[in-house]
Amino acid sequence: MDEQLLRTISAAREDVLARIAAAAKSAGRDPASVRLVAVSKVQPPDRIEAMWAAGQRVFGENRVQEARERWSARREAGEDFELRLIGPLQTNKAREAVGFFDAIETLDRPKLAGALADAAAKLGRAPRLMVQVNTGEEDQKAGVFPREADAFIASVRTDYGLTPEGLMCIPPADEPAGPHFALLAKIAARNGLDQLSMGMSADFETGVMFGATSVRVGSALFGERKAH
């Protein structure tokens, strides 16, 4: 273990945790009600080792294959940690994802709901689920549009027998995040969902202010990513 790297990564984690706690307190919330998801996609193994050594046990990954390469050994060793899929999921990888992840945050279409339900039945394993909402209605982004969200959530429950626990969003990069987080919280509340995955390195404190129960933080914890 590179001691210098461990110090740097530990300090970054402590800083992010302190900022989450401060944002929670100023919003009148219990800091323990916000979970830090360390987004480890693309990060080199030594940084992930350091984050693990710093005590972090909840990680987010964008791609099924990459996640398996990075985390299978720890899974097989019986280590206790939580892995969340936060990137788009292709239907033909649903089974692999259900078998590997503890939570899938990117449920956003009926076909995927069907594939996840089938896989859960076959594997006897049901990761927690979140519905991704495309709050900015951006063409290039995954997620159901806000006006479709209520019907989609109802269909996920009744047609596919799935029980999503909450909602996730990625606001447009060029807009203030607050209104998007507020919209996500409103959609969740009217659908009886109490988990909100919102906020990244640039805006996790805003996420906490608007009720995030988990924030997905990559570069502020690990340092900048190299391009995929």
- Interface contacts to ligand PLP, rule CB under 6 A: 39, 41, 62, 86-87, 170, 200-202, 216-220
**What is the rounded CA–CA span in Å between residue 168 and residue 88?**
12
Query: Which residue number places its CB atom closest to ligand PLP?
Result: 218
Which of 102, 64, 69 lies closest to 83 in space, CA to CA? 102
46/80 Cα distance (integer angstroms): 19
Token pair for residue 210?
């608007």
Residue with smaller CB distance to ligand PLP, 137 or 159:
137
Residue 224's nearest CA partner among 54, 8, 7 is 8
In the complex, least distance from residue 156 CB atom to ligand PLP, rounded to whole angstroms? 20
Under a CB-based contact definition with an 8 Å cutoff, are residues 105 and 142 in contact?
no
- Minimal distance, residue 150 CB to ligand PLP, in Å: 23
Residue pair 159/113 in contact (Cβ under 8 Å)? The answer is yes
| Smallest separation (angstroms) from ligand PLP to the CB of 197 | 8
Residue number with CB closer to ligand PLP (69 or 159): 69
- Judged by CB, which is closer to ligand PLP: 157, or 223? 223
Q: At closest approach, how far in Å is the CB of 132 from ligand PLP? A: 9
Q: Give 24 or 217: the residue with its C-beta nearer to ligand PLP.
A: 217
Other beta carbons less than 10 A from residue 34's beta carbon = 23
